[in-house]
Chains A and B, each alone.
Chain A
Amino acid sequence: MLGIIIATVMITIIGIVVGTGLVYTAKKFYVEADPREIKVRECLPGNNCGACGYAGCDAVAAAIVKGDAPVNACPVGGASVTEKIGEIMGTSADAQERKTAFVRCAGTCEVTHDQGNYIGIRDCRSAVLSGMNVTECSYGCLGYGSCVSVCPQNAISVKDGAAVVDPSRCIGCGLCCKACPRGLIELVPESRKVRVQCSNRDKGAQVKAVCSAGCIGCMLCTRQCEFDAITVTDNLAKVNYANCTQCGKCADKCPVKAITPPASKRDNMNGERK
């Protein structure tokens, strides 16, 4: 019986000493922090999962307050957390429109072909390093799925030899943009559906020879646009997302259908052409 009492008393004393020590250290070594940082930290899930790319919730809260990270930096929290952080930071969640990845190539097996017979590691970066022209189009999607393997959300798949992003699953982390050795993937505001689905900067005749869906730089879209929202540089059309009104005239006029139509003119929302 005495043993139990001694044990209880000793453990209680150790507990009290340790607890007091913790409180004392917390007060003594308190680090002055931006009050907004504490508020932002409270909104975050607190799992310290690191999916945002920072070393835990404290780190990303500090980055958000500093302006280094967007208010929607936390992919786990989703819209509700983004909204709360947006309120604290004084920017509405709408101002930071969700961005999703977009593959600027429509080079499926139907419209273009592989060249030679690459039998190395099934990885785009290895294919590029091999030095051979794996695809006929030297700008196009290789289709070995380096982007697929880095995507944390399984949002990318290779269909018919070209990568396609499922915008509903994309969290806009940008890992695929860095993984693509040909730099085909970019982050585009989700609502901007009129996009140029080609990256080939060669002259029209050369493009025609290798791909039937490639931008030939014919300037028809530029002439069609009333808002100066689409320009052709280096034989490649580029949409200025700030000016674009989603009218879709350029997409209608494009002879090779290299421009994706706006949401109002398509059946499915998967980012694929009709």
Chain B
Amino acid sequence: MKNLILIVVAGALINNVVLNQFLGICSFLGVSKQMKASASLGGAVIFVITVASGVASLLYDYVLKPFDLDYMKTIVFILVIAALVQIVEMFLKKTSPAMYKALGIYLPLITTNCAVLGVALTNVQNGYNFIESVLSGFGTAVGYTIAIVLLAGIRSRINEEDIPAPLRGAPIVLISAALMSIAFMGFPGLSF
């Protein structure tokens, strides 16, 4: 039990997918302009990564491993994750239009997000079973959401400040992200 909780906490904070592993940077910087969009994207990411890591884990354990196709995992995971997100999108559109509207454009956008694939591959590398994979995926996605919502909050403050002209726009965002990353480097020092 302690092990499972540790996997979630490690995924969310200690090995934060954006700030410690540097995955999913594009959407992290691109969508963090507005708090509302960031939160929606975070929700979509939690949903997709949790489902995708579960499916990827099953696929790896019951199809790829028995046939010695370990080296094909990258391409198979991409294929399956992309299709999975499409199916989930169609399913949501029919059964839960409200949720479809809330996640909106972000659902198909994260199909090709490197964080999604990264989590699936890391799970396999760590030899996680199905439950551990799902929890690790969930934790990682929560970590992504924490990071992007924090950055969105910082950026909304930055917008009101008088920033030196050369640093306006992208540079100040990168600096803020770097400072956040340094702060998150403190988590690996925690001991349990």
**Which residues of A are in contact with B by a Cβ distance under 8 Å?**
3, 6-7, 10-11, 14-15, 18-19, 21-22, 25-26, 29-31, 48, 50, 55-56, 59, 121-122
B4: interface (CB < 8 Å)? no
B90's partner among A3, A15, A26, A122 (CB-CB below 8 A) is A26
Inter-subunit contact A21/B63 (CB<8 Å): no
Q: How many residues of B contact A (CB 8 A)?
A: 23
**Which residues of B are in contact with A by a Cβ distance under 8 Å?**
63, 67-69, 72, 75-76, 79-80, 83, 86-87, 90-91, 93-95, 101, 104-105, 108, 160, 162
A55's partner among B67, B90, B95, B105 (CB-CB below 8 A) is B105
Using a Cβ cutoff of 8 Å, how many contacts connect chains A and B?
54
In the complex, which residue of chain A has the Cβ closest to the Cβ of B162? A121
Q: Complex: how many Å from CA A25 to CA B83?
A: 11
Q: Complex: how many Å from CA A100 to CA B95?
A: 41
Inter-subunit contact B80/A29 (CB<8 Å): no
Inter-subunit contact A10/B69 (CB<8 Å): yes
Given contacts A10-B67, A29-B94, 9 further A-B contacts (CB under 8 A): A6-B67, A7-B67, A10-B63, A10-B72, A14-B63, A21-B83, A25-B87, A29-B95, A50-B105
Query: How far, in Å, is A56 (CB) from chain B's closest CB?
Result: 4
Inter-subunit contact B162/A29 (CB<8 Å): no
Residue of A10, A30, A50 with most partner-chain B CB within 10 A: A10
Inter-subunit contact B83/A11 (CB<8 Å): no
> Using Cβ atoms and an 8 Å threshold, which residues of chain A touch B83?
18-19, 21-22
A-B contact pairs, 20 of them (CB 8 A): A6-B67, A6-B69, A7-B72, A10-B72, A11-B75, A11-B76, A14-B63, A18-B80, A18-B83, A19-B83, A25-B86, A26-B90, A29-B90, A29-B95, A55-B104, A56-B104, A56-B105, A59-B104, A59-B105, A122-B162
